[in-house]
Amino acid sequence: LKDILRKTKRCKGFDEKSLDELVLAASIKTAAKGEIIFYEKDPAYAFYVIEKGKVKVFKMSPDGKEQILMIANDGDTFAEAAMFTGGIYPASAQTLEKTELMVINRDRFVNILERNPHIAMNLIARLSELLHKLNRLVEELSLTDITTRLAHYIVNEIDSHDLNVKESGTNSNYKLSLTLKEKKSTLASQLGTIPETLSRSFAKLSKEKVISVDGADIEILDYDHLSNIAGQ
């Protein structure tokens, strides 16, 4: 357990004492693909660290439209905030593949927090980061159209990985490319829309020669223009 924690990005820099304390609040859980970790409005008695796997956190409207709030991968944590807000989960969580989870008990964790400023500061930083992201989502949902959101998503992906520049075969130019890590229908839900509309946005950007799409592979033909559409 402790070794797993040590490898978690969220726990970088924690001292041995903090890790020992955290272990006391933790247990392990394995979930199959498609399993529900918790439903929105379930009582929240724990939060989660992903050891290995992938989980989507989402909200669902009465008529079935889904809005993904985040996709959590190896080393990510989720549902931390739920522990302090009324005791229920504000969204649902479901695995997208077989996933190993660490479950951190709420009451024990709060207890640890009160005695470990280091862990508390870490949590504050994490909550701030979440706020920042939600902020961004609100901005996009209320102020921009879907093509803009898609452009923004692509630019972000490109900028966060440095592995996307490949030397072109024919000359000495470089190519920017990207392979989607999720299904397009999942991406649609993340961007607050449906697959059909996302597909049309891809088609639009392709038609404008900004990108070219081949399945999950996307090549950026005009980064400046794309960046422009994304709005800086």
Per CB under 7 A, residues contacting DNA are 63, 65, 145-147, 183-185, 192-200, 202-203, 213, 215
Q: In 3D, which of 18, 110, 6, 4 has the Cα closest to residue 50?
A: 4
Q: Among its own copies, DNA, none, what does residue 143 contact (CB within 5–8 Å per kind)?
A: its own copies
Q: Rank residues 23 and 113 by Cβ distance to its own copies and give the closer one.
A: 113
Per-residue binder mask for its own copies (CB under 8 A), 97-136, x = binder: ----------------xxx-x--xx-xxx-xxxxxx-xxx
141 binds its own copies (CB under 8 A): yes
Q: In 3D, which of 39, 22, 192, 33 has the Cα closest to residue 116?
A: 22
Q: Among its own copies, DNA, none, what does residue 212 contact (CB within 5–8 Å per kind)?
A: none
Among the residue ranges 15-23, 76-84, 156-164, 174-182, the one whose residues contact its own copies (CB under 8 A): 76-84
CA distance 153 to 145: 13
Least Å distance, CB 24 to DNA, is: 40
Among the residue ranges 11-19, 58-66, 101-109, 221-229, the one whose residues contact its own copies (CB under 8 A): 58-66
Total site size for its own copies, rule CB under 8 A = 41
